[in-house]
A = this chain, B = another copy of it.
Amino acid sequence: MRLSRYFLPVLKQTPAEAQIPSHRLMLRAGMLRQEAAGIYAWLPLGHRVLKKVEQIVREEMDRAGAIELLMPTLQLADLWRESGRYDDYGKEMLRITDRHDRELLFGPTNEEMITEIFRAYVHSYKDLPKNLYHIQWKFRDEQRPRFGVMRGREFLMKDAYSFDLDEESGRKSYNQMFVAYLRTFARMGLKAIPMKAETGPIGGDLSHEFIVLAETGESAVFCDKRVLDLPIPGFDVDYRGDLQPIIDQWTSLYAATEDVHDVARYERETAPENRMTARGIEVGQVFFFGDKYSKPMKATVTGPDGVDRAVQMGSYGVGVSRLAGAIIEASHDDDGIIWPDPVAPFGAGILNLKPGDAACDAACETAYAALSAAGKEPLLDDTDERPGGKFATMDLIGLPWQLIIGPRGLAEGTVELKRRAPGERKTLSLESAIQAITG
C-alpha cells in the first residue's frame, strides 16, 4: 500500500477521553473512531489488525477440529425464554422490537441459538462429538463503556460450542479448546495465563479465564510466576490424542482471578518467591456447563444404549476486538505501538525521505516490489511529509520493520533498517536490508 493513496488519519494530539495506552494509541494511530459510546468504526489500519487477529483465531479453531458457521446478530426473545435467560440477563441485553412488534435482541452470546440449531439436526450419538463456532459481532449494553475496545458495547467475539454424549467426552472437548487457546494467544505474541474463574451468567462449574498481564487490566490476579515459563503446545499437537497432561501441567500451578482467589491455598501451594500479584485483561474464557441449556431446550441425542439424554455442552469465547487492544497494552512504548509480526497491519514500512528524487523513488519501488512479492505487505510512505513526521508516524503505528531510504545514504550505496522493537538502526545495502526483512 502506498500511503499517499491510503487512509491513515493519525492524530498529533492525545485524545483527552482515552484513559489507557491502547485506547490512546488506537485513536492516535488512526485505527479507530468512536461512533457512539462503546461503538467504534475500525479505520483501515485497525481493520487490518482485526482481520489478522481473527484469522489466527480461526486457524487455531480449525486445527482443533471446530467447524465454522455464522449465526446472525439478531435473535428471537422467545429463544432466550426457553433457557430462562431472557429475564435474567437484565439491562446488558439490547432488546429490540421490529415493525410487527416481534421481540428481538442483539445477541450478547449464542448458547441458545446454537442449541436450537443442534437440536434441529442432530439426534444420534453417532454424530458426536461436534464443536461449532462463529466469529460475529455481539452487543452488551455496558452501564459504563470505557477503555476503547477493551470494554466496548459492540464487539467482535469468537464463540465455540461443544456437544458431547457424556461428561468424560465433554471434558475432552474442553481440553481441546484449552490447548487451542494456549496456541492462539501465543501466536499473537501474548503470554495468556489460564486461571480458574467464576462461571457467572453462562453457568456450569468448570471454567478458566485466559488472562494477559497488563497494568491497566480490570482484574487483580494471583499466580505462581513459573506459569509464565510453561511451554506452549506445538502446531503438531495431537488434538485427538490425550491432552490431559498439558492441562494438568498448566493448572497445577496456582493461578486465579480475585473473584475465586483462595488466599490460604495460594500461600500453601506457592513459595513466597514465586508469588505474583498483578493485574490482567481477560482475552478468552472456556466453560463446561453440561446440560444447562440442552435440558430445558430439549436438545437430546440417543446413546448407543438406545436411551435419549440431554447433550453435554461447553462454550468457549475469545474477545477478538478486545485482543487488538490487549496486544497494544502488552506491547508499546512512549513512541507508539510495537506490533508482534503475526498481527502487524503491514509487515514493514518503507520511508521515502525525498519523493521526487529519482534515486530514492527507484530504490523505494525496488523495495516495495520485493517485499510485496515476499508477502510482507509493505506500507510505502511516499508522501511529502518531512522526515521527522515520517519517523514519528512509523513509530506510532508500530510496524515491525522500517526501511529508511534517503538521498545521502543512497549516494553511498546504503539505506537504514530499523527494527521497531528494540529501536536500533543499522546502515546496510538495500539488498541486505530486503534480505533481513524477508529472510
Chain A residues proximal to chain B, CB less than 8 Å: 5-7, 9, 30, 33, 35-37, 39-44, 46-47, 50, 65, 67-76, 79, 91-92, 94, 96, 98-100, 102, 104, 106, 113, 116-117, 120-122, 130, 132, 134, 137, 139, 141, 143, 153-154
Q: Shortest beta-carbon distance, A119 to chain B, in Å?
A: 11
Cβ-defined contact, B47 with A68, below 8 A: yes
A92–B99 CA distance with the chains assembled, in angstroms: 8
Given contacts A36-B75, A36-B76, A141-B99, contact A42 B69 (CB under 8 A): yes
Task: Contacts A5-B67, A6-B67, A37-B100 known; list 5 others, CB within 8 Å.
Answer: A33-B117, A43-B69, A47-B69, A91-B99, A98-B141
Query: Chain B CB within 10 Å — which of A72, A102, A106 has the most?
Result: A72
Q: How far is the CA of A67 from the CA of B46 in the complex (A)?
A: 12
Q: Do A132 and B36 touch across chains, with their CB atoms under 8 A apart?
A: no
Q: Is the CB of A74 within 8 A of B43?
A: no
> Given contacts A113-B41, A121-B9, A130-B7, is CB(A71)–CB(B35) below 8 Å?
yes
The count of identical subunits is 2
Chain A facing B: main interface SS: mixed
Closest chain-B Cβ to A105's Cβ sits at a distance in Å of 10
Contact A73:B35 (CB < 8 A) given known A65-B5, A113-B41: no
Query: How distant is the Cα of A132 from the Cα of B116 in the complex, in angstroms?
Result: 38
| Known contacts A36-B102, A154-B74; A41 and B94 CB within 8 A of each other | no
Are A73 and B9 closer than 8 Å at their CB atoms? no
Which one, B47, B113, B134, B141, contacts A35 given CB within 8 A? B113
From B44, B75, B92, B154, contact of A68 by CB (8 A) = B44
Q: Is the CB of B36 within 8 A of A120?
A: no
Contact with A41, one of B37, B46, B98, B117 (Cβ below 8 angstroms):
B117
> Are B40's CB and A72's CB within 8 A?
yes
Whether A44 contacts B71 in the complex (CB less than 8 A), given A33-B120, A99-B91, A113-B35, comes out as: no
Chain B CB count within 10 A is highest, among A35, A42, A50, for: A35
Q: Is the CB of A69 within 8 A of B40?
A: no
**Given A36-B102, A141-B98, A141-B99: A42 and B70 interface contact (C-beta under 8 Å):** yes
Please name 17 pairs of A and B residues whose Cβ atoms are closer than 8 Å in the assembled complex, sorted by A.
A6-B67, A7-B121, A33-B117, A35-B71, A36-B72, A36-B74, A36-B102, A41-B71, A41-B72, A41-B117, A47-B134, A72-B154, A73-B137, A92-B99, A96-B106, A98-B141, A137-B137
- Nearest 9 pairs of A and B residues by beta carbon: A9-B121, A42-B70, A91-B99, A41-B71, A99-B141, A47-B70, A39-B72, A44-B69, A72-B154
Given A7-B132, A94-B98, A98-B94, CB of A35 within 8 Å of CB of B67: no
Q: Which of B35, B116, B122 contacts A75 (CB 8 A)?
A: B35
The minimal Cβ–Cβ distance linking A289 to chain B, given in whole angstroms, is 21
B50 touches A70 (CB 8 A): yes
Q: Give Cα distance in the complex from A9 to B98, angstroms.
A: 30
Contact A7 B67 (CB under 8 A): yes
| Shortest beta-carbon distance from A271 to chain B in Å | 45
Distance in angstroms between the alpha carbons of A37 and B76 in the assembled complex: 10
Among A7, A44, A71, A121, find the residue whose CB has the most chain B CB atoms closer than 10 A.
Answer: A7
State the CA gap A81–B320 with chains docked (Å). Answer: 32
Residues on the B chain within 8 Å of A96, using CB: 94, 96, 106
